[in-house]
A and B are shown apart, each in its own frame.
Chain A
Amino acid sequence: MTSTENDRKKNRYHFDRHTPEYRPQFAKITEEMLEKCPVAWTDTYDGHWVAAGSKEVFELARCPAVSNHHDLTGETPYKGITIPTAKRSSGVRGGMLEMDDPEHRTYRNVLNPYLSPAAVARWEPFIDETVRACLDEKIADGQIDFVDDLANIVPAVLTLAMLGIPLKKWAMYSEPTHASVYTPEDSPDIERVLAMHREMGIDLLTTMVEIRDHPRPGLMNALLQMTIDGGPAPDLEILGMLGLIIGGGFDTTTALTAHSLEWLSGHPDQRELLSTDRDGLLDPATEEFLRFFTPAPGDGRTFSKDVEIEGNRFKEGERLWISWAMANRDPAVFHDPNEVVLDRKGNRHFSFGIGVHRCIGSNVARTVFKSMLTAVLDRMPDYRCDPDGAAHYETIGVIQGMRKLPATFTPGTRVGAGLDETLGKLQRICDEQELARPITERKEAAVID
């Protein structure tokens, strides 16, 4: 390495977020990096930059010389948002999250009218009814697993509804989507997970063909109908977009909900406070849980030009990890960054990303989270999570998630039908009221009969 190279990479930090040791050391690593090297070079995974500081993350995420593009030929250094490049992802780009403008914008414009705040608000009665059914399945038992019985189900059901996929298939989509995030590629369970993933992929393709022949409202139809460069979008790009919507729609909201419910169980006084002052606290508490738990902890990028930012000189082709999770703990922006402060002010957190790639599902995430949280506070107000049964993802390099969160509570009474019956009813309502139409075509909220 030349002396200029050494000079450029003088801030070094051994950073490996994929090891099991990373999770318990996250706060310590973050403090060290923020204090000593808010941008550092690490030799892990063929070498890449890591941005931890809030200022650096803010500038890099908005920098036009920082690219999301993923070149599947592997002939250029553009490797998209994953570090290291996942074996499974080769063959399909990760939808618009692995595109730059103007291509990214073309796809994003197609999705926007389905996912804007106004578009998502129409789904609230549908979401509340799904949540109600999930809780009714367990309310008389006095025990529930908040991951398996609630937080895995609701985001999956809603995402399928928005796509135009039958709701009853939620389990076929949910299990492989979560399992492929937390199952390492060398795990003995990986073959089973991959088989489930293939089954989901085949169903996705079959549904694509079906909707192409017989259009029905939803995100999948929108992607099939769109035009780019004067023609339809390539099937592989549509598949990448669908993978992004499913991956982004399922695991992240589950992760946020499970962590928040676990934290509230451990802080009953704060839970009481939140429950009694929902008008004042539900919004800021949701943002604070987003900041503190950062379900999607970061994204990879590639420099597309030589550029200098905040005194750091980067070279074209170098890879970069932008850590939303570490920026979210920067004391320069957040006082007492390692504390959960339910009524935090000025909470300009990084959890949905910064810049043109802001999480397009952010409105869905907040709405689904709030519905699940408030229903639990209403119907299981004294719930207690079992610390021995709680299972966090062993590695949090991709998603800071949970696999299990068992809890007990004082049993209550059912107020409606169970999940299967409810999903049958919601499917009929989806079809009759054409809920999956974009906001430009349908303004009214869902009506649950």
Chain B
Amino acid sequence: MIAVLGLVVGVVAGLLVRPEIPAVVEPYLPIAVVAALDAVFGGLRAMLDGIFDDKVFVVSFLSNVVVAALIVFLGDKLGVGAQLSTGVVVVLGIRIFSNAAAIRRHVFRA
């Protein structure tokens, strides 16, 4: 419950504060957000499976974000930033879909 509240508060704060994104972080934020979403869906699925562990969630969340940012950074350096970030988004999207499917089976039994 508190976790959900945290998400809601985060969204509200982001909408209200509207901070200027630092230029350094700018290219990585979208990918980092998608990666974090993937981690959240994974965590939700794990919770429904009854195997949720906060330590694992924290590590997977942070590592997801860092690795996603790293890939984008590397891609930009190699000159294939656009393609690589597309690839990352595709992969993360697939994972989000499969996790969402598992969650759906749990919640709706279908």
Whether A associates with B in a native complex is no
**Taking beta carbons and an 8 Å cutoff, which residues of B are in contact with A?**
none
Interface residues of A (CB under 8 A from B): none
